[in-house]
Amino acid sequence: MASSSVFPLFLQLILFFSLFNFSLSTRRLTELVQEQPIPLKYHNGPLLSGKISINLIWYGKFKPSQRAIISDFFNSLYSFETHHQNQPSVAKWWKTTEKYYHLTSNPKTKKPTSSFVLKMGNQILVENYSFGKSLTSKQILGLAMKGEQKNAINLVLTASDVAVEGFCSSRCGTHGSWGAKKNNKFAYIWVGNSETQCPGQCAWPFHQPIYGPQSPPLVPPNNDVGLDGMVVNLASLLAGTVTNPFRDGYYQGSADAPLEAASACPGVYGKGAYPGYAGDVLVDLSSGGSYNAHGVNGRKYLLPALFDPSTSSCSTLV
């Protein structure tokens, strides 16, 4: 029988693991303590294909400099791959998602699934808090529907003073889809700014966690704990969206609580990562910011490891 002193510590470590990356819902405890990632199973559903627009819906007050952090991230997904500039790059990180398409065959033609390209779409500012400052999941969907719904991923970003159902208590963001028919569905993502509400839960490793080992937090690469934390969660959910857009793509476990391309590698940002330690990442000598990927306009980002289906391992840039 475990002693009374060991059991609470075990619970704390489990809770700590569960805070790294949230997707559709909470993961099972048995998945949180896996030493090796579990191979993701393909459930024969369609993946996103063709040219997909990313529409940003900003709910609440965001500074222009904060919006630029997010838009530069999306503009980095392909730019450095084309121009062969600084490495490691956001584009190199994103290329891992393309491997899922190479492994997937169209059920009718038996040919590999066509590839996809993301491009920046429209940005919609909802600064008047038209739904109030406490939102339900249904209202998040309502905001997502403000964006173009054909060949799109609509991203809802809520400001630091906006509470969202389940935010902090069970999730840092989510992704889903909406539409009566599969060929008319659109995908959406929601991510909240956790800087003032729960940075120890949703902005790690840029803030000390509320559970587990208390290592010093890393310096955010764009000098914004909330927005750099949003990038981490957004990147994780974006990878889950393109590889499992309609809950029948690539995942392991329950469809209601899936392990996806990024959530299968919780808390890993560089080689040598372990609970409470993000791994051996790069440090900007001028700002002290920690990062593992270069982006456009001189940006630096810290991005989560992705599960590489070709090696059945968590792939890191550094």
Residue 18 lies in a domain: no
User: Phi first, then psi: what are they for 153, rounded to 5°?
Assistant: -120, 115
CA distances from 291 to 122, 171, 273, 280 (A): 28, 24, 14, 10
What is the structure's pLDDT at 38? 72
What is the structure's pLDDT at 4? 32
Residue 15 lies in a domain: no
What is the structure's pLDDT at 205? 96
Residue 287 C-alpha from the chain's centroid: 24
**Cα gap 269→54, rounded to integer Å:** 25
**Cα gap 199→206, rounded to integer Å:** 8
Task: Count CB-CB contacts under 10 A for residue 242.
Answer: 25
CA dihedral for 286, 289, 291, 293, sign (positive or negative) = negative
Residue 117 lies in a domain: yes
**Cα gap 128→126, rounded to integer Å:** 6
**Cα gap 262→273, rounded to integer Å:** 15
Residue 20 lies in a domain: no
- CB contact at 8 A, 37 and 307: yes
Tally the domains of the chain. 1
Give per-residue pLDDT as tens, 219-237.
999 999 999 999 999 999 9
Residue 274 lies in a domain: yes
DSSP helix, strand, coil percent of the chain (3-state; round to 5): 30, 25, 50
Secondary structure tally for the chain: helices H, strands E: 7, 16
Residue 9 lies in a domain: no
Q: Which residues contact 9 (CB under 8 A, 6 or more apart)?
A: none
Closest CA to 241 of 100, 112, 70: 100
Identify the DSSP state of 33: T
- CB contact at 8 A, 241 and 187: yes
**Cα gap 56→277, rounded to integer Å:** 32
Helix ranges restricted to H, 160-295? 199-202, 225-243
Residue 8 lies in a domain: no
What is the structure's pLDDT at 20? 38
What is the structure's pLDDT at 270? 96
Give per-residue pLDDT as tens, 127-143.
999 999 999 999 999 99
What is the structure's pLDDT at 2? 37
Residue 7 lies in a domain: no
Positions in the chain whose pLDDT score sits under 50: 1-34, 82
What is the structure's pLDDT at 182? 60
- CB contact at 8 A, 266 and 32: yes
**Amino acid at the residue 26:** T
Beta pairing partners, 188? 154, 176
First vs last Cα of the chain: how many Å apart? 41
Host domain of residue 152: 39-315
Q: Which residue has the tokens 């060991």?
A: 6
User: Phi first, then psi: what are they for 175, rounded to 5°?
Assistant: -135, 155
